Amino acid sequence: MLTTRTNRLDPSLIPADELARVARAFARSGHVLLTDSEGNQTEIPELLFQHFAHIVRLMSEHKAIVMLPEDEAFTTQAAANYLGMSRQFFVGLLEKGEIPFHRVGTHRRVTFKDLLEYEKLRDKRRREAMDRLTDEVHKAGLYFSDYKGD
């Protein structure tokens, strides 16, 4: 279960000068090398470098970061909150089979990965609906690109 206390990276807990120094290192082109206490150096792979750079940039903007694995299980209330809907509506989506879930005893749980997949699908459907609506407005001759308003 998600515990924000252990998964939350709070920039206020890092001295500002240290965070600024790390942000400058990640802002430069090229890679950052990790050096252990014995002087051994390891280059950070590109994919990790990009993620670390993004995290450091956000933290230097005083934004906290919460990290969690894709298989993190959410309660129905937490999942509904994440998606910005009521718990009752969310449970209806589960019961209709739109989002996979599993049970822990009598309680439903949803993985973060499944929430992200549903969110992506929902956003795609919304964009497609807006595109269809825009096409209908254009076909009906109701769109005036030179409209200036009152």
| Domains present along the chain, CATH in parentheses | 4-66 (no CATH), 73-139 (1.10.1660)
131: buried, middle or exposed (CB in 10 Å: 19+, 13-18, 0-12)?
exposed
Locate tokens 């933290």: which residue? 59
| Residue labelled with tokens 């298989």 | 71
Q: Taking Cα atoms as reference points, which of 57, 67, 64, 68 lies closest to residue 11?
A: 64
What is the spatial distance between Cα 41 and Cα 25, in angstroms, rounded to a whole number? Answer: 16
- pLDDT in tens for each of the 150 residues of the chain? 444 456 888 898 899 999 999 888 888 877 778 899 999 999 888 888 889 889 999 999 999 998 889 999 999 999 999 999 999 999 999 999 999 999 999 999 999 999 999 999 999 999 999 999 999 998 888 876 665 655
Q: Which of 28, 20, 31 is nearest to 56 (CA)?
A: 20
Note the pTM of the prediction, 2 decimals.
0.68
Alpha-carbon Rg for the chain, nearest whole angstrom, is 23
